[in-house]
Chain A
Amino acid sequence: MNLASLQADLWTVAPELWLLGVGLLTLLLDLVVPAGRKAAVGLTAVVGLVLALIPTSSMVLWQPRTVLFGTYAVDGFAVFLKIIAIVTTILVILSATDSMGRQTRFEGEFYALLVFTALGLMLMAASTDLILLALSIEYVSLTSYVLAGFLKGNPKSNEAGIKYFLFGATASAVMFYGFSLVYGLTGTTNLYQIAQRLSAAPVPALYLAVALMLAGFGFKISMVPFHQWTPDVYEGAPTPVAAFLSVGSKAAGFAALVRVLVVTLDPSRVNWVLLIAVLSAASMTLGNLLALPQRNIKRMLAYSSISHAGFLLIGVAAFRGDFGTPGVLVYLLGYTFTQLGAFFVATLIGSQLGTDEIPDYAGLARRAPVLALLMAVFMLSLTGLPPTSVFLGKFYVLAAAIDNGLLWLAVVGIINSVISLYYYAGVIRAMYIMPAASEAPLAEPAGLQVALGVTGLGTLIMGIYPQPLIDLARSAAVLLRL
């Protein structure tokens, strides 16, 4: 073992080590900060996370390589997703500083858990070894189960925690069985070595391994047929946690999925492209159709997140060429801003009006004009209308599908976009056309205002002036293969 190179490697995981320190500090601060002022703990965590963005983003331009005995990738793809993980965590903590204090007396632990989960998401995004990948996925899962069931006195939150745990434990077990098959077939856990030794492995066993592994990744990204937990967990979990799960876990899950499928498993050996394309069409269609009758905003966003997972899978299936992988990255970033924004509006309504039902959004345009306008922008963005961030992502993945000869998949995607307008527009209709039950203006807490401002600006700026981001996503995606 070469200690000098190991020490040099440690610098490449400096952001992760820093986040570990921030998490521990948050946990210790919680011990000394008196009750009622716990928001300060959350703000300290936010400062720590913002500082972590500096070394992380400086790594975008680094020469891609693996470190720590080949188990950990330093490439643009990983860095891009690490930035998404950190930004998501910052915004979720900001949005939670107002409402969590009133809902639980364990507010400090809540922030610490979020920081630790962000660390897990970063590890997931960069793992290039099946063992490290398994450990980081498990790590994220365990903290997520606790976060989903965080409101101990609330039966729905308990239900969310238990359901998430039961589904997650089963999915993980199945996925690890797939990992063990891959290890048995190739004799190594390193993804890049697996890619080289794949030609010697029997094909049917590889298909079995891919199917088993997809159960775990599919659970994380809420892909059909592993999606059933999504609405119940999003509905029961505290709204900031639902926002976090629908964006953070999904992004990291896609990072792991893309790395395992695109980098490791050569489609000429194991043809997973058609499989992913079919699952993509199923996720888009089923998620959309089930979202149509929903009246609860969190359930509606849950089903819509299933359908967006389907859209993202288009980019995975159509990975060849210039649009696929950059498309996944662009889509993930745009979706991050928009989905978080929509959930933040739901957080604010939930904490101020005590309701998650869409009909109760009636008259919001008069009670909180800016909030209603932002929500309308988020809804239009989720539909995929220009000039918004998700439009850009959809444009990219659909272009990738056509570029890869998956025209039928692009058609399914466009039809689904049109269908989704119905239920997204339902929210806008409630806010702008339905008569209000009350005219009293809504209080808007500062933390939520900042979080909403960032997500709103992100959604619009990405839609109006996307060129810098497209360049970044392209350079990040090209680095993917070592």
Chain B
Amino acid sequence: MPKVLLDWFYVAVFAVVGTLMAVLPLVVVWLLAPRADLPQKTITYESGVIPFGQAWAQFNVRYYLFALVFVVFDVEVIYLYPWAVVFRQLGTFAFAEMLLFLLVLLVGLAYAWRKGALEWV
């Protein structure tokens, strides 16, 4: 097979295998899995908790603001843990860098606070 065709062959294999990876599990499940049409199966999955009310309920937009502020602290902790583990080896430079990082997040918190995002009216 000429070189160019071989190269295109890779692309074709890539495309076919990629499609199969998506389609095949669905087909296999459809063929093999036992079917039991219990009423519980139509219930919305909410991490194992039995759902109540309708999913179309209106949520207070404030939840969104709190979620955003939560992300600030969440991300902060993700980076603080590995930093704390190797803190002794890294020395003052890493300490200063982390303080700078925290300062940036602090500005975010101060901004949210001052704009009233932390108040529940």
- Count of A-B residue pairs with CB < 8 Å: 33
User: Complex formed: what's the CA distance from A75 to B88 in Å?
Assistant: 36
Q: Is the interface of B mostly helix, strand, loop or mixed?
A: helix
Least CB separation from A202: chain B residue: B7
- Is there an interface contact between A203 and B110, defined as CB atoms closer than 8 Å? no
The answer to whether B91 has its CB under 8 Å from any CB of chain A is yes
User: Complex formed: what's the CA distance from A208 to B10 in Å?
Assistant: 12
- Min Cβ gap A110→B in Å is 14
Residues in A neighbouring B104, C-beta threshold 8 A: 20, 24
Chain B 85-107 interface mask (CB, 8 Å, partner A; 1/0): 00000110100000000001001
The answer, among A24, A27, A202, for a CB contact under 8 Å with B10, is: A202
User: Complex formed: what's the CA distance from A20 to B108 in Å?
Assistant: 13
- Is there an interface contact between B107 and A3, defined as CB atoms closer than 8 Å? no
Q: A31-74: which residues lie under 8 A (CB-CB) from chain B?
A: 31
Count of chain B residues near A, Cβ 8 A: 16
Residues in A neighbouring B90, C-beta threshold 8 A: 3
Residues in A neighbouring B10, C-beta threshold 8 A: 202, 204-205
- Is there an interface contact between A204 and B7, defined as CB atoms closer than 8 Å? yes
Chain A 18-34 interface mask (CB, 8 Å, partner B; 1/0): 00100010011001000
- Min Cβ gap B107→A in Å is 5
Given contacts A3-B91, A3-B93, A31-B114, whether A204 and B11 have CB atoms under 8 Å apart is: yes
Count of chain A residues near B, Cβ 8 A: 13
Residues in A neighbouring B91, C-beta threshold 8 A: 3
The answer to whether A467 has its CB under 8 Å from any CB of chain B is no
- Is there an interface contact between A203 and B107, defined as CB atoms closer than 8 Å? no
- Is there an interface contact between B107 and A27, defined as CB atoms closer than 8 Å? yes
The answer to whether A7 has its CB under 8 Å from any CB of chain B is yes
Q: Is the interface of A mostly helix, strand, loop or mixed?
A: helix
Residues in B neighbouring A24, C-beta threshold 8 A: 104, 107
- Min Cβ gap A45→B in Å is 15
The answer to whether B8 has its CB under 8 Å from any CB of chain A is yes
User: Complex formed: what's the CA distance from A146 to B115 in Å?
Assistant: 18
Residues in B neighbouring A204, C-beta threshold 8 A: 4, 7-8, 10-11
Least CB separation from A205: chain B residue: B11
The answer, among B7, B93, B111, B115, for a CB contact under 8 Å with A205, is: B7
User: Complex formed: what's the CA distance from A28 to B107 in Å?
Assistant: 7
User: Complex formed: what's the CA distance from A3 to B110 in Å?
Assistant: 32
- Is there an interface contact between A31 and B111, defined as CB atoms closer than 8 Å? yes
Given contacts A3-B91, A3-B93, whether A28 and B7 have CB atoms under 8 Å apart is: no
6 contacts between A and B (CB under 8 A): A3-B93, A24-B107, A31-B115, A202-B6, A203-B7, A204-B11
Given A6-B93, A7-B93, 12 additional A-B pairs, CB 8 A: A3-B91, A20-B104, A24-B104, A24-B107, A27-B111, A202-B11, A203-B4, A203-B7, A204-B4, A204-B7, A205-B10, A205-B14
| Residues of chain A whose beta carbon lies under 8 Å from any beta carbon of chain B | 3, 6-7, 20, 24, 27-28, 31, 202-205, 208
| Residues of chain B whose beta carbon lies under 8 Å from any beta carbon of chain A | 4, 6-8, 10-11, 14, 90-91, 93, 104, 107, 110-111, 114-115
